[in-house]
Amino acid sequence: MEIGISALLILILIAFGMSVNASFLAGAIIYLLWSGTSLDSVASTAFFALEKSSILAIPLFMLAGSLMDKAGIADRLIELADALLKKFKGAMGATIPVASMLFGAVNGSGTATISALSKIMLVKLTRMGWDKRYTATMLACSASLGYMIPPNMNAILFSSVANVSVAALFMATVIPGVIWGGLLMIINRIIYTKWYHPKNAIGHTEFTAITTNEVLQDKESGYWSNLFKALLRAIPAIIMMVIIFAGIYSGLFSPTEAGAVAGIYALIVGLLYKTLGLKNIFSVFKETGQSMGSFMIILPMVAIFSRYLILNQVPQTIAGGIASITSNVIIIMLLIDLILVISGMFLDAGVLILVITPMLIPTAEMIGMPITQLAVIMFVCVGIGTVTPPMAMNLFIASKASGIEITDMMTPLKPLLLIGCIPVLILVTFVPEVSLWLPRILGFSV
């Protein structure tokens, strides 16, 4: 009772503009005072909430993402995506999901992906005559591919609350991720004419890609030589993919440590190609360090409140509640999706994974859903959550980078979300093999 009202209070405080971390702290304190529970564990719970090596993946992958961006590795991956898609209509729009997947193969975070890609892609696509409202939204919707393609920081977080293999989780999201990217490309192909106006193009761009489709079809041979050149230029990035992939799967380093390996590699590439100056490097470290306090501080505050959710058996109650509504597995699965999508509107990825996962595991076990599949459902919902306001991290970042208001992104968001993202959720919910097939043939017990 008290815990439920406190939870509601937290939502109200958040709605009234109080910072998310303080809302959770205040909610927990109010609950404790109200229910007459001792406050003794508040500070120690907060402190120990961050004492987990898996959480270290967050700053490491953020550092790596920033270093790759500054070292020019992100640029080269965009060029590669561009060269790959040259033959297709509306290709530049489709380069966004493809570049997100390519960049995803070297970093573990959606936030790092959109931060790195938006700077470059927004400018270039706008100069070619693409509507910024569309490109910004496409960037936000594609960013989740950054972790759906392994390495995947969310998988590392997930494994810290559920006993599953991180390596198996990495494989589980590959096929859903590729399908997700494919859907976004298909939607782009259908609607791009609405958002692409070549007559608005500003002069010449250094990108070889299409400004008009006619030019393309004439230069069939140019495609391959172009792709070859782009591939050559992308070699440092491709080597990086190989190192990270081989390193994790040969056991040379853990998924968390992959963040550090990627960071050091980007540092070396940047120094070799002279794209990274000393000043740049220091600013990357400083900015990443400074940004930690704004979102990592949410974790200890949520931990305080979730301790009392656990002590009050709330996860079991919710699981039992779902079970008491119906025994129909399909409806239970839809309810899981619904809980996650709604939670995703309000909560950030870390909170969603760390708080909601323990609540859903009993339900998943009850209906015989493998935890690996639950994880994939979770990750897709995390991705959807990053583009569903009010708490829509990737929309915020895209809006900040493009100068476009969130409200102006709603029109292009509708098709991308409804036809691009939601079907992926339905697919991973009802077709377990989409997630489980790849880890299984690679020998994981999922």
Name residues contacting Na ion, limited to 385-404 (CB under 5 A).
385, 388, 391-392
Asked if 84 interacts with other proteins (CB under 8 A), we say no
- Sequence-ordered list of residues with C-beta below 8 angstroms from that of 197, at least 6 positions apart, any chain: 129, 130, 131
Q: Which of 345, 418, 426, 431 touches Na ion by CB under 5 A?
A: 345
DSSP 134-200: HHHHHHHHHTTHHHHSSS-HHHHHHHHHS---HHHHHHHTHHHHHHHHHHHHHHHHHHHHHHB-GGG
User: Interface with other proteins includes 14 (CB under 8 A)?
Assistant: yes
- Any contact of residue 279 with other proteins (CB under 8 A)? no
- Could you say which residues in the range 126-165 bind other proteins, by CB under 8 A? 159-160, 163, 165
End-to-end CA distance of the chain: give it in Å, rounded.
37
Contact mark string toward Na ion, 3..42, x via CB under 5 A: ----------------------------------------
Residue with tokens 């393309």: 216
Q: Cα–Cα distances in Å, from 320 out to 27, 174, 241, 325, 376?
A: 24, 32, 43, 9, 22
Instruction: Spell 299-337 as b/e; 16+ CB within 10 A means b.
Output: bbbbbbbbbbbeebebbeebbeebeeeeeeeeebbebbb
Write out the binding residues for other proteins, residues 213-272 only, by CB under 8 A.
249-254, 256-257, 259-261, 263-264
Span of 164-172, 277-285, 328-336, 344-352 interacting with Na ion by CB under 5 A: 344-352
Residues in 317-346 that interact with other proteins by CB under 8 A: 346
**Shortest distance (Å) from residue 242 CB to Na ion:** 14
State the CB neighbour count (10 A cutoff) for residue 293: 9
**Closest distance between other proteins and the C-beta of residue 23, in Å?**
8
- What tokens does 177 get? 């991720």
Number of residues that bind other proteins (CB under 8 A): 78
Q: For residue 433, give the DSSP letter.
A: H
Task: Give how far Cα 153 sits from Cα of 108, 255, 258, 383, Å.
Answer: 5, 8, 10, 13
Which residue, 311 or 345, is less far from Na ion as judged by CB?
A: 345
The entry of other proteins, Na ion, none near residue 104 (CB within 5 to 8 angstroms by kind) is Na ion
Q: Which of 16, 214, 274, 324 binds other proteins (CB under 8 A)?
A: 16
Residue among 108 and 300 whose Cβ is closer to Na ion: 108
Q: How far is the CB of 159 from other proteins (least distance, A)?
A: 6
Comparing CA positions, the residue from 260, 262, 229 lying closest to residue 243 is 262
Query: 372 is in the binding site of which of other proteins, Na ion, none (Cβ under 5 to 8 A by kind)?
Result: none
Rg (alpha carbons) of the chain, rounded to whole number: 22
Kindly tell me which residue out of 1, 40, 204, 368 binds other proteins, with binding defined by CB under 8 A.
40
130 by DSSP, 3-state: which?
A: strand
- 41-70 residues in contact with other proteins (CB under 8 A) are 41-44, 46-48, 50-53, 55-56, 59-60, 63
Closest separation in Å from C-beta 333 to other proteins: 22
Report the greatest alpha carbon distance in the chain.
77
Q: Which residues bind Na ion (CB under 5 A)?
A: 104, 108, 147, 149, 151, 344-345, 385, 388, 391-392
